Structure 1
Amino acid sequence: MTNTAAADPERPIPSRVLLRGGTIHSPEEPFATAMLVEDGRVAWLGSDSAADVAHADAVDEIVELRGALVTPAFVDAHVHLTSTGLSLVGLDLHDAASLADALHHIASFSGSLPEGATVIGQGWDESRWPERRAPSQAELDRAVGDRPAYLSRADVHSALVSSALVAAVPEVRGAAGFDAEAGIARQDAHHLVRKAAYSMLSPGARGALQAEALRRAAELGIGAVHECGGPDISGEADFLQVLAAGRELAGPEVFGYWGEFGAAAKALELGAVGAGGDLFLDGSIGSHTACLAHAYADRDTLGASYATAEQVAEHVVQCTEAGVQAGFHVIGDGAMAALLDGFDAAAARVGRDALHRIGHRVEHAEMLPAGGVERLLAFGIVASVQPAFDAAWGGEAGMYAERLGAERARAMNPFAALQKAGVPLAFGSDAPVTALDPWGTVRAAAFHRTPEHRISVRAAFAAHTRGGWRALGSRATASGMLVLGEPATYAVWDVDPEDVIVQAADERLSAWSTDPRSGVPGLPDLTPGRPLPTAARTVVRGRTVFDSGRLGQV
């Protein structure tokens, strides 16, 4: 559990803190066992003996690491904090084993709410159920009674809606993507019902959910998150409250992206660091709304296209001229082609050097057309990707193979090709689509279900730490490394020192390097089946935001 005193925003930050007796993950001093933090920054790295001679008598606090590993804290480059909070304390259907099981959970949760309260839940995935279908609207109505209900699919690109919610949002009946008989909203209809459902949450309820999500992130060693908001996601009020939570709560830092076309100036006015994030060019594969170049294998559709190459170009030009990052949600290869054509047109107007100076972003980038990797590199685009998507839905028998066929599914999420080409990678969860789980994310990239797409644990860790800061472009306020002068944003992990290794990503997976002469900082052994590390403490710019109580203090 969180140490509430340690997470108190009013608690003074110790001026000088010495950590000793562990392993410090630093490229600057790969053999360090001790670290001095002064005024929220890394002030010294070295051995325990040197620390005792030079610093032990002149510090406010000494932390006995007891062999623990200290690394830079993680950065989750794509989250939705309010809905993540809902998944933690509300109706979460990710683990529902069947249609009947899901309906049971929905009915039980609805029965616990006050009369007339809105039921908001998420996470159902009919592709994993033996029935192979979602609940009908009649089944949902029986489970929730006369309450408005919005239950998003696991990918959050379609939702089940009750009759009462449809009655409260009558315009959804004529919106693209609404299936009245099934009670499922996709495309524009989904944007309408999601916005309506979240507007039914009070500011107090939203604040509690955001605080819960930040608490959980801190507990997992996450020191910063990129919130992806927009008018079709949760609205301005929610976005502003999320940014305020990041400033006011003792937790991870929050950097916001506002996804709205032509709104570079508005994004800055709202306090966002960029005009992007979930600026949708398409939807998702699970909901059959990702825009494909060729039809789905299990349905005669190309998915949904929400914007043209011309709209992409206009937005990129506007953002580039304003000195603001643009960013786009892109999953299908049809949508990726539109994105790249839009950048071609933008480059013709402002020049490629101008695009590189900004470092615009693409979120997800799961399906790349021929030449797509090289074109991303040519425009200086950062790929903000989610390895847990492959862990959840990849593989020969996964949902991606079902929707696309095995050949196209095997080509998805080509992390190794992106990394080898030099495309900057930043890792995130898209929580609540997949859970906040940084070490699980690193493992998913290193043990991708398609072996040729694997990258090393070291490269994956860099994408989930340094990569998250790099993805902020000029708005980055840290490097994501424990080096002298950098912000002391770090996590302490309960790891056996013998399990701190250097791990490859190919046929040499069993050939770990533990030779200290290599000078390469090690990381926990993430071989599948092994337990993932747990955080003992998380610190953001010198302030402790999570403390398990397991470390010794003097």
Structure 2
Amino acid sequence: MVRGLVRALAGLSFGLSALSFGLSAQSLVLDNVTGYGWQGDKLVPFSRLVIEDGKVLARGDNRLAIPQGAEVRDLAGKTVLPGLIDAHGHVMALGEGTLNVDLTGAKSLADALSRVARFAKKHPKLPWIQGWGWNQELWPDKRMPTASDLAMLTDGRPVWLSRVDGHAGWANQAALTLAGINAKTPEPSGGQILRGRDGQPSGVLVDNAMNLMTAHLPQLSDALRGQALDAALGIMAKVGLTGVGDAGVDLPTWQLYQQRQASLTTRIYAMLEAKPATWQAVKAPIGWQGSDLLAARAVKVFADGALGSRGAAMLADYSDKPGHKGSMLYGPGELEKVMRAAFDAGFQVNVHAIGDAANQRVLDTFASFPPSERKGRRNRIEHAQVMTLGDIERMAKLGVIASFQPTHATSDMNMAQSRIGKDRLKGAYAWRSLVKAGVKMAAGSDFPVESPNPFYGLYAAVTRQDHHGQPKEGWHKEQALTREEALYDFTRGAAYAAFMDKFTGSLAPGQWADLVILDDDYFTVPDSDIWQLKPRETWLAGKAVYRRVE
């Protein structure tokens, strides 16, 4: 299809072949490329890209005029795509993860404990051992870990390890004691303290109960926070991300971004945390600043927890835990007040909702906003993971964007049906159903919950398989996206969701030249190779911010 489109456009040069450009010391031409961009919602191929002062001046075929005196780079057929945009990630958590023990992909409790022990031995002066990424669903017995599992590993130092979804944490007894969590500690609203038969805390805290522990964690120094940001920016550039929606930004992080704005190598769309004190300190939504590197015009709200820890709020009981429906993180009327306060302050409202009960309640709240005020705000549901079929249709009518993460489906497929049953899966991870309903979509990863690599997301969206090609026919493949749809959602769709579609996401004339250069063609490599694509170069505003070293 794409090759045919290239041939059909061979004689057009997009109306620019007859133009001659004046001399510009800042002109650069990427020539002999296999390029793809967007004109509105239409995929547009090109073989020559003209860049001037960091922006796309023109794109077309080999008859497009080259500016006099321009630097010309012959890319010998390499692929050029718009810079990829992750609609939903956690920038500082990604960077801070490089400072802590990494439990991502641990295949057993023993594997996780071994990693903790090695890290603790390597860092004997750290007052706390912190980490991220464990997932009991990958372990043979699938049981939740306990504080006693961590005994004797860290010379008595407190341990706090976040689950892969960020909605549960695992503590040792030293940490529980320091935080004052014991058999008499009541469960906070919207949270769970998992307990043993004797009523004592087992060591795992879920959702709002995590606050009982995180209030006691040591704060990073300014130097370490800067180091974490640098690490995150480097990781994002390496995988081809030129933009990110940063979900849940606190005030110190926003202030750090402002201080470092000129040196950002990824455009950051900050979704401020849902604390009135934070967005009131910012005073009002802040549009894209400087060279369109930073903005804060959204507030991120949590409605419920996650499916893996059974914290997602469901309309009916969990199939594998009768009598349990998960948790809303706000009491009756409270979620609505928070959403409305952020909306009335002028912010885009982006709400984490995974369970069908949470999604329904969030849509009910959006529906209560006056249509005239709602129009143009581009409100979003983050994840939109399990929904009733009726709510999928309603989402489209309300103009709410689905900010979804393709790799969540392939990570959750080993436990989703056991959690919610076959019938509810019809509205779960239902991307094709969202497309058919006319819902606007934006793709991301939720890193570091998942890898920040957008090619993993593109692969999952198209195949609905893991990296071993399983299941062979794809998990509920009827809900898969086409390659074109998936690329749109990781570029123009994500740009629209962050109000950056006017200046990036399409490689259209007048936009910043944010792009990735690949050795192979995303549209023609076998499905199995999509996740293995690696940027040779990542560019922001016409300049390389990453080059792969062979």
User: What's the TM-score once normalised by structure 2's chain length?
Assistant: 0.84
Alignment of 1:191-270 (within 5 A): 191-197=211-217, 199-230=218-249, 235-242=250-257, 244-245=259-260, 247-260=261-274, 262=276, 264-268=279-283
After superposition, give the CA deviation of every residue in 1:480-526 in whole Å (9 maximum; x if it has no partner).
1011111111111111xxx55xxxxxxxxxxxxxxxxxxxxxx3535
Contact 1:283/1:304 (<8 A) preserved: yes
Whole-Å separation in 2 of the counterparts to 1:35 and 1:103:
51
Whole-Å separation in 2 of the counterparts to 1:101 and 1:428:
29
Q: Which residue does the alignment assign to 2:454? A: 438
Whole-Å separation in 1 of the counterparts to 2:137 and 2:515:
38
CA distance change for structure 1 residues 237 and 250 in 2, over 3 Å: closer, same or farther? closer
- Local SS of the residue matching 1:354: helix
Contact 2:459/2:531 (<8 A) preserved: no
- The alpha carbon displacement at 1:142 in A equals 1.9
Q: Which residue does the alignment assign to 1:490? A: 515
Matched, 1:17 2:32: no
After superposition, give the CA deviation of every residue in 1:72-110 in whole Å (9 maximum; x if it has no partner).
001111111222124445311122111111111111111
CA distance change for structure 1 residues 379 and 308 in 2, over 3 Å: closer, same or farther? farther
Alignment of 1:221-370 (within 5 A): 221-230=240-249, 235-242=250-257, 244-245=259-260, 247-260=261-274, 262=276, 264-268=279-283, 273-277=296-300, 279-299=301-321, 300-307=323-330, 310-346=333-369, 351-370=370-389
CA distance change for structure 1 residues 65 and 388 in 2, over 3 Å: closer, same or farther? same
Whole-Å separation in 2 of the counterparts to 1:442 and 1:268:
37
- The alpha carbon displacement at 1:364 in A equals 0.4
- Local SS of the residue matching 1:83: helix
Structure with larger RCO (C-alpha < 8 A, sep 6+): 1
RMSD (CA atoms) = 2.5
Contact 1:99/1:133 (<8 A) preserved: no
Which letter does structure 2 place at the counterpart of 1:527? D
- The alpha carbon displacement at 1:261 in A equals 5.4
* Equivalent of 1:76 in 75, 81, 86: 86
* Equivalent of 2:415 in 367, 385, 399: 399
Q: Which residue does the alignment assign to 2:483? A: 457
Whole-Å separation in 2 of the counterparts to 1:479 and 1:270:
20
Matched, 1:110 2:120: yes
Matched, 1:183 2:193: no
Whole-Å separation in 1 of the counterparts to 2:77 and 2:332:
53
Q: Which residue does the alignment assign to 1:468? A: 494
Contact 1:260/1:275 (<8 A) preserved: no
Whole-Å separation in 1 of the counterparts to 2:238 and 2:436:
33
CA distance change for structure 1 residues 393 and 210 in 2, over 3 Å: closer, same or farther? same
Which letter does structure 2 place at the counterpart of 1:280? F
- The alpha carbon displacement at 1:31 in A equals 4.7
CA distance change for structure 1 residues 479 and 526 in 2, over 3 Å: closer, same or farther? farther
Matched, 1:382 2:396: no
Which letter does structure 2 place at the counterpart of 1:95? G
How many correspondences in the alignment? 494
Which letter does structure 2 place at the counterpart of 1:425? M
Whole-Å separation in 2 of the counterparts to 1:134 and 1:314:
34
- The alpha carbon displacement at 1:147 in A equals 1.6
Of stretches 304-313 and 16-25 in structure 1, the one that deviates more from structure 2 is 304-313
Whole-Å separation in 2 of the counterparts to 1:425 and 1:18:
32
- The alpha carbon displacement at 1:549 in A equals 5.4
- Local SS of the residue matching 1:114: coil
Contact 1:320/1:354 (<8 A) preserved: no
After superposition, give the CA deviation of every residue in 1:171-229 in whole Å (9 maximum; x if it has no partner).
684443223431111122213423543x4322222221221111111111110111112
* Equivalent of 2:427 in 363, 386, 411: 411
Whole-Å separation in 2 of the counterparts to 1:14 and 1:331:
51
Matched, 1:372 2:391: yes
The structure richer in strand per residue is 2
Whole-Å separation in 1 of the counterparts to 2:130 and 2:383:
25
CA distance change for structure 1 residues 297 and 486 in 2, over 3 Å: closer, same or farther? same
- The alpha carbon displacement at 1:244 in A equals 4.1
Matched, 1:135 2:157: no
Contact 1:22/1:68 (<8 A) preserved: yes
Whole-Å separation in 2 of the counterparts to 1:536 and 1:205:
29
Whole-Å separation in 2 of the counterparts to 1:174 and 1:489:
50
Which letter does structure 2 place at the counterpart of 1:227? D
CA distance change for structure 1 residues 417 and 308 in 2, over 3 Å: closer, same or farther? farther
- The alpha carbon displacement at 1:50 in A equals 4.2
- The alpha carbon displacement at 1:531 in A equals 5.6
Which letter does structure 2 place at the counterpart of 1:221? G
- The alpha carbon displacement at 1:386 in A equals 0.6
Whole-Å separation in 1 of the counterparts to 2:45 and 2:529:
28
Q: Which residue does the alignment assign to 2:505? A: 480
- Local SS of the residue matching 1:183: strand
Stretches of structure 1 that go unaligned for 5 or more consecutive residues are 1-12, 501-522
- The alpha carbon displacement at 1:334 in A equals 0.9
Q: Which residue does the alignment assign to 1:147? A: 157
Which letter does structure 2 place at the counterpart of 1:528? S
- Local SS of the residue matching 2:175: helix
- The alpha carbon displacement at 1:415 in A equals 0.7
After superposition, give the CA deviation of every residue in 1:129-166 in whole Å (9 maximum; x if it has no partner).
11322332122132223222210111110010123323
Which letter does structure 2 place at the counterpart of 1:240? Q
Whole-Å separation in 2 of the counterparts to 1:207 and 1:270:
24
Whole-Å separation in 2 of the counterparts to 1:251 and 1:373:
36
Q: Which residue does the alignment assign to 2:527? A: 527
- The alpha carbon displacement at 1:548 in A equals 2.0
Q: Which residue does the alignment assign to 2:7? A: none
Contact 2:393/2:437 (<8 A) preserved: yes
- The alpha carbon displacement at 1:41 in A equals 0.6
Whole-Å separation in 2 of the counterparts to 1:526 and 1:274:
39
